[in-house]
Amino acid sequence: MDSMELKYLERLAEIYPTIAKASTEIINLQAILNLPKATEHFLSDIHGEYEAFSHVLKNGSGSIRRKIDDIFGHTMSQKDKRALATLIYYPQEKMKLISKTQDNMEEWYRITLYRLIEVCKRVASKYTRSKVRKALPEDFAYVIEELITEKPEFSDKEAYYEQIINTIIAVKRADKFIVALGELIQRLVVDHIHILGDIYDRGPGPDKIMDKLMEYHSVDIQWGNHDMLWMGAAAGERVCIATVIRICARYANLDILEDGYGINLLPLATLALSVYGDDDCSCFKIKGSNVLNPVETELNMKMHKAISIIAFKLEGQLLKRRPQFGMEKRCLLEKIDYEQGTIELEGNTYALLDKNFPTIDPEDPYKLSKEEDEVVERLITAFSGCEKLQRHMQFLLNKGSLYKVYNGNLLYHGCVPLNMDGSFQTVEIYGEKYKGRELYDVLETYVRKAFFAVDENEKEMGKDILWYIWSGPDSPLFGKNKMATFERYFLAEKDTHVEKKNPYYEFSKEEETADKILDEFQAGGNERHIINGHVPVHHTGGESPVKCNGKLLVIDGGFSKAYQKETGIAGYTLIYNSWGLILAAHQPFTSAEDAIAQETDILSDSIIVKRVDRRKSVGDTDNGKKLKERVSELYKLLDAYRSGVIVEKA
């Protein structure tokens, strides 16, 4: 035994100071290794749709309903199964409705409690008693543990359980107890959640989604390009701030900033009214489903134009400052003939749909007016000083990364840039060249520098990279040759709106490409997959989310309502449990009220992507590998104790 190993074992002996304690821990760990693998839940491209996200989280993408089917089979009607599932998702709200129609609530309580306890037993069976105990609600911890734990020493355990349930009803605690059981089932049915990017933009509730995730028991996040934009805004990057506001204005979601984050937009509104008061701003119509009254709509459109012009100016400034980004072609304001109202792109001249640019100086088109500059400075202060926004972004930094390898699966939001021949594309970042995994790694380094670098130059480079990741043509989170925002606003010609995808999206249909990428990111094992989102799967067009002979799973089916006309569904989610992978397609979500009253579920279709012959255990997971290493170390510690190399401590 070398000195380093001995030193390590001596440290281990401080935790397990006797043969008995080390032996007990080995027994405990071996037991855990043989438990069924816990369930993982994958979601992507939520885009601010809080209610739909919350519902999917509550039902575990159908995991709770599948448990109910497994437990009760043909002994319960489909109607009763739907009612029980809805009660678990929304216990308080559902009980209010039931109390209005039930003649005998005591009998309903009794039947319902027995059913919930059975579900609770099943979902708790995957975990150690210690882990379940930590998840129990404080007020009912002892009682729930008694009800879900087998008691072989009791000859009449039915009578024992019945007495507990009767007492719960008698002391008027049944409602609270049902709520506690419903929330516990939700907590236990999914052990870990993966968010594959784009929490932000388009929908009205990204701040609520972040609050929900911060309360969740176990989560990791792979950043999307829309998340990068908000991180850049929180870091004080001027272009990111303007773009965040522009998108909020475009989808009539400025209240996210004003009400959700307390950011004052009055200076922008004042500027918009003073500069564009007589402008109908017809190119800046509102998108999405959020309905505003006529006065709000008019003001929103003027603010939309004001911040868009600011954003285009700031974008030009950044691209002039960072020529190494290779995006000079996107410096568009200098290509406009302001007298003729035209622009020259790729050798063609196009008429602009909007020719009113009172704040642009044709001789210096990227210079902010005095009033615009004052607005931008106030916005930088507001974003940088917003405590709630900073808290949310710190959570993204703590729980997030650009990619993750977890239990053999490679998770990322967008793509791995490829050349036309399918090889990894080389991308230059601040004078150095990277490709494949190295590209992801260096970009993540700069993301963190934007927040934590001490050197101001390094911090500024990081902040600019946040914008580059949002829309750069070689960004793995964007993956298109351009972001045609200007063209969509100002040009009628649809061919100018086209954003060409990176060759990744063609080559990713081939199993060979998936294997090459999995090897590059060192995702090992016989049952490995790439799981990503970013580009919606067009379900109505017959496109499948399962590609590369099952090795690539694309789970962006369109949570965002803005995409649902194209996709035909409301998102894909993925469940990875001890029996394999289940892909779920969801119908558009109307409201929680409809789900409760009509007992409808947004789960529409489940696809078993892979079912294993042997049920996976904890020992087959990444955590299982760590536990096996600890078992091996403990065996060495036992040998050291028994050989006298290390002395037990009483």
Contact yes or no for 581/572 (Cβ under 8 A)? no
Contact yes or no for 466/450 (Cβ under 8 A)? yes
* pLDDT tens-digit readout, 20-37: 999 999 999 999 999 999
Average pLDDT over residues 347-352: 96
Task: Name the average pLDDT for the chain.
Answer: 92
Among 83-87, 471-475, 564-568, 605-609, the minimum mean pLDDT is found in 564-568
The count of residues in the chain is 650
* pLDDT tens-digit readout, 78-91: 999 999 999 999 99
Among 176-190, 422-436, 522-536, the minimum mean pLDDT is found in 522-536
Whose structure tokens read 């059981």?
181
Q: Is the pLDDT score of 330 beyond 80? A: yes
Residues 283 and 489: their CA atoms lie apart, in Å, by 6
Concatenate the DSSP letters of all residues of 88-125 into one string: HHSHHHHHHHHHHH-S-HHHHHHHHHHHHHHHHHHHHT
* pLDDT tens-digit readout, 50-66: 988 998 899 888 899 99
pLDDT at 602: 52
% residues pLDDT > 90 (the chain): 79
Instruction: Name the band, by pLDDT with cuts 50, 70 and 90, for residue 152.
Output: low
Q: Is the pLDDT score of 154 beyond 70? A: no
Q: Which is more confident, 484 or 545?
A: 484
Beta-bridged to residue 400, according to DSSP, are: 221
Contact yes or no for 574/537 (Cβ under 8 A)? no
Question: Angle at which helices 294-321 and 370-384 pack, to 10 degrees?
Answer: 90
Q: Is the pLDDT score of 539 beyond 70? A: no
Average pLDDT over residues 314-322: 97
pLDDT at 524: 83
Residues 259 and 356: their CA atoms lie apart, in Å, by 31
Average pLDDT over residues 378-407: 98
Encoding tokens for residue 527? 């049952």
Structural domain spans, the chain: 3-34+621-643, 40-196+533-616, 206-486
Q: Is the pLDDT score of 302 beyond 80? A: yes
Q: Is the pLDDT score of 275 beyond 60? A: yes
Q: Is 29 left (phi over 0), alpha (psi -120 to 50) or beta?
A: alpha
Q: Which residues contact 273 (CB under 8 A, 6 or more apart)?
A: 299, 302
Beta-bridged to residue 403, according to DSSP, are: 412
As to burial, measured by CB atoms within 10 angstroms (0-12 exposed, 13-18 middle, 19+ buried), residue 23 is middle
CA atoms within 13 A on the CB side of 121: 15
Encoding tokens for residue 109? 């309580």
% residues pLDDT > 70 (the chain): 94
Q: What is the DSSP pairing of strand 529-532 with strand 409-412? A: parallel
pLDDT at 565: 62
Give residue 162's identity as a one-letter amino acid code.
Answer: E
pLDDT at 607: 67
Average pLDDT over residues 386-408: 97
Q: What are phi and psi of 361, to 5 degrees?
A: -95, 110
Angstrom CA distances, 23 to 35, 363, 618, 638, stand at 19, 79, 20, 8
Residues 331 and 317: their CA atoms lie apart, in Å, by 9
Concatenate the DSSP letters of all residues of 362-376 into one string: TTBTTPPPHHHHHHH
